[in-house]
Amino acid sequence: MPNENAALNDWATYSLGCPGKPGLRGRKANPSNLIRFIPAEGTGGLIVSLVARCGLPGHQSPQIFSPVIGGMMTAIALTIAGSDSGGGAGIQADLKSFAAMRVYGASVITAITAQNTRAVTAVMALPPRMVRAQLEAVFDDLAVGAVKIGMLGDPELVATVAAALKGRDLALVVDPVMVAKSGDRLLAAEAVAALREALLPLATVLTPNLPEAADLLGEAPASSHEAQEMQGRALLALGPAWVLMKGGHAAGEECRDLLIGPETHVFTAERQQTKNTHGTGCSYAAAIAAGLAQGMAVPDAVARAHCWLQGAIQAADALQIGSGHGPVHHFHALWPQS
């Protein structure tokens, strides 16, 4: 079966979507971005388990991409967020990110937005009782391994979600969605304190960009690497196990993300010249949650998600969606490239 195995290996090498793979304009990938195949027992060699590492020496937590094979359980991640009618961010981006990571996605919708690549024209928060009902339905039946939280909108919804998650043994990625790419505010000012007090202490990973970190702390956005780390550590003191300070809003030719927790890791990437970055924060956080649902350690989940997102941004212009800030290409590693 040489042809099938060759195809599987090619898909695996490509599945991370890291810059450096032929077809993605040839930026050099880290040589430790390795993927190897381990034959899965009981499959006759036709199916293999996928193990990925994304360049963090000393971190050996294997990542198994887990379709239903030979009795293996499918990894499940849940997104709790708002709906984006344009499909680039929110629930829609999260579910695409889960699928790109080979994780089954469930969803709890907190709000409905009317938006496209240019603007958010209307927002309607769902009643807390409906959000609560969705949460109960999902947790009553599905073995959720990780949760990604996005847009919550108001203090009542923050309280509803926090109450449903408290005491549950699962990984929680909190993406403090506050302002859309178009500049429209998605989190009421009075909800910031509720988010800080009720959800941050429950978070496995908090993933703010620089303006969101500043908003949570009541400070000006960090303008230096030192300030980025100081604000990250101030957020860490509020209760999350890890804080990922995303540096995409900073000036300069290099984007620098800083992961702070029991260890500190820096992830850098060349700034890519594209306007099509709608949904980057949602997608990044969802990809991290997917890794945690699959059993990855936090640094490894972040490393893989960072690597994949760079490929998604790099391939975004190929989609040609809308006339404003288009979405990233979630399936850049799976769809044929012209």
Choose between 55 and 8: higher pLDDT. Answer: 55
* Torsion, CA 321, CA 279, CA 80, CA 200, rounded to 10: -170
What pLDDT, in 10s, does the model give residues 129-167? Answer: 999 999 999 999 999 999 999 999 889 999 999 999 999
Does residue 63 have a pLDDT over 90?
no
Q: What is the topology classification, in CATH, of domain 76-318?
A: UDP-N-acetylmuramoyl-L-alanine:D-glutamate ligase (3.40.1190)
What's the rounded Cα separation, in Å, for the pair 233 and 140?
36
| Active site (annotated) includes residue 246 | yes
For the question of residue 281 being annotated catalytic, the response is yes
Reported as a single tens digit per residue, the pLDDT across 77-97 is 999 999 999 999 999 999 999
* Three-state DSSP class for residue 297: coil
Q: Is the pLDDT higher at 180 or at 266?
A: 266
Catalytic residue among 88, 105, 247, 281: 281
Contact assessment for residue 272 and residue 251, using Cβ atoms and an 8 Å cutoff: no
279 is known as an active-site residue: yes
Give me the amino acid identity at 87.
Answer: G
Domain residue limits, the chain? 76-318
Quick one: pLDDT at residue 183?
A: 56
pLDDT of residue 203: 98
Residue 13 a catalytic site member? no
Entry pTM: 0.81
> Which residue is catalytic, options 18, 54, 255, 282?
282
Cα–Cα distance, 307 to 9 (Å, whole number): 18
Of 54, 105, 246, 255, which residue is the catalytic one?
246
The pLDDT, as a whole number, for residue 253 is 86
Identify the top-confidence range among 62-76, 184-198, 258-272: 258-272
- Taking the C-alpha atoms of residue 155 and residue 158, their distance in angstroms, rounded to an integer, is 5
Q: Quick one: which H or E segment has residue 50?
A: strand 48-52
Catalytic residue among 145, 153, 277, 326: 277
Query: Is 121 annotated in the active site?
Result: no
Q: 3-class secondary structure for 131-191? A: HHHHHHHHHHHCCCCEEEECCCCCHHHHHHHHHHHCCCCCEEEECCCCECCCCCECCCCCH
- The catalytic position among 153, 247, 248, 279 is 279
Of 110, 117, 207, 280, which one is the catalytic site residue? Answer: 280
